[in-house]
Structure 1
């Protein structure tokens, strides 16, 4: 079952965010049993070669791949899609117009205007015809909802044909509300719940970044289906710190 099919089936899909950019780490995580990994190219120094090396490392592990690009730009999206991920995550989609633009960039005609190339996604030309026929149906397009303006426009955004899911960026959402120094403010959670409710009504999977298993369980009970269970750097730091403290206190 493809990543997009899992989303459409109503399954909960469990992921992990990769920020380090090392293909060995990517390959290791690919073998751990996660449904998907989020390769983070917005807030890292990753370039296309680093992204593709991780995709190659994960290939064959059974774990799906989603790349977050750094902006809603036609050339950037085209080049990342040509590296062959199972989905693409587009940040800061705040209006229906921006949503329609993103779909136009991620889909081949007639739904969009993605350019046709001979890269890894197309088997370097060996399966060009098959990929062009299947990509619109098989490669997932996901939007980040991370600004209060996006929450205000969420119903219009969700109506755009070709959207497969949204993920709420709670930290940037808080910043857009000038609450970045008050992350526990209930106003932030109220906006998150507005997005979740709208997604449930529209039949669009809604996702979130969760920091620990208890938060994950709570989000699942609320109806979130697209989860990323932390990030490589956070898990590495937490595990290393825990080992050090355990030995020192023994």
Structure 2
């Protein structure tokens, strides 16, 4: 696990950049770990990556000095316990829509007395040889990010970010727009209004803002930085690969 430098950066509103891993192969994780990201997210909500491969990907990422997060499949006790026991530096919890959801995530991630996480011995605890140190790390350095991807989360944002243990939030743009009945319509008026409310609340409360910029155009990242976002995910593994080959083939076809 990483030390507390990254958690402090996130909570202090310093810029950190990461990306999204959806392909369950260590080569993909290794390639993305070599390009300068501060953190990488292993996504098990929408992808068939099992817990054994999750641990392999965590180990691969961390071996390069990069923080390994897991976007868990849901706000559920066992899956959160599994990925943390596998050694994840933090979790991104989907569909946090209320204070109750946020408190539930903390209960599942933190040991008593702060939370209710069951105690087991696995890779994170160095297979039982370093439990006391890991317990301290969970209390001080574990990163928990609430994913804001529903209009209800926007409406309840102030109460969500007040929950002790929630270190940051990140907008999931597709589901947020979907919750308004307009999936993928990022330029829609209602979607923009929801994002404006998110920005206002976070800035008023001096709470770090996050966004998953799915588009691989670097200019889109700069736009979010200019808007004040500081915890930013850039692209996905398959889009980096797909966009590159599509553009290359278009150029080739034009020259033939």
State how 1:158-173 maps to structure 2 within 5 Å.
158-173=161-176
2:43–2:72: 8 Å Cα contact kept in structure 1? yes
Equivalent residue, structure 1, for 2:158 = 155
From 122, 125, 130, give the equivalent of 1:119.
122
From 209, 223, 227, give the equivalent of 1:222.
227
What is the CA–CA distance in structure 2 between the aligned matches of 1:64 and 1:99, rounded to whole Å? Answer: 22
1:3–1:86: 8 Å Cα contact kept in structure 2? no
Secondary structure in structure 1 of the residue aligned to 2:242: helix
1:201, CA displacement in angstroms? Answer: 2.5
What is the CA–CA distance in structure 1 between the aligned matches of 2:78 and 2:205, rounded to whole Å? Answer: 30
2:12–2:208: 8 Å Cα contact kept in structure 1? no
What is the CA–CA distance in structure 1 between the aligned matches of 2:236 and 2:185, rounded to whole Å? Answer: 22
Is the aligned partner of 1:234 residue 2:236? no
Is the aligned partner of 1:82 residue 2:82? no
Deviations 1:199-226 (A, max 9, x none): 2222322111112222211111111001
Deviations 1:32-80 (A, max 9, x none): 1101101110000111011111111112212111100011111111111
What is the CA–CA distance in structure 1 between the aligned matches of 2:53 and 2:184, rounded to whole Å? Answer: 33
Equivalent residue, structure 1, for 2:212 = 209
Secondary structure in structure 1 of the residue aligned to 2:112: coil
Equivalent residue, structure 2, for 1:67 = 70
State how 1:23-38 maps to structure 2 within 5 Å.
23-38=26-41
What is the CA–CA distance in structure 1 between the aligned matches of 2:196 and 2:248, rounded to whole Å? Answer: 37
Secondary structure in structure 2 of the residue aligned to 1:163: coil
From 242, 248, 256, give the equivalent of 1:243.
248
1:159, CA displacement in angstroms? Answer: 0.7
Q: How many residues matched?
A: 250
Equivalent residue, structure 1, for 2:112 = 109
> What RMSD over aligned residues (CA atoms) do the two structures have, in Å?
1.3
Stretches of structure 2 that go unaligned for 5 or more consecutive residues are none
Deviates more, 1:232-241 or 1:191-200: 191-200
2:86–2:122: 8 Å Cα contact kept in structure 1? yes
**Alpha carbons of structure 1 residues 13 and 181: separation in structure 2 relative to 1, 3 Å:** closer
1:170–1:192: 8 Å Cα contact kept in structure 2? no
Deviations 1:147-170 (A, max 9, x none): 111111111111111100001111
Question: Which TM-score applies when normalising by structure 1?
Answer: 0.96
Deviations 1:73-117 (A, max 9, x none): 111111111111111010001111111111111111111011111
1:125, CA displacement in angstroms? Answer: 1.3
2:75–2:93: 8 Å Cα contact kept in structure 1? yes
Secondary structure in structure 1 of the residue aligned to 2:165: coil
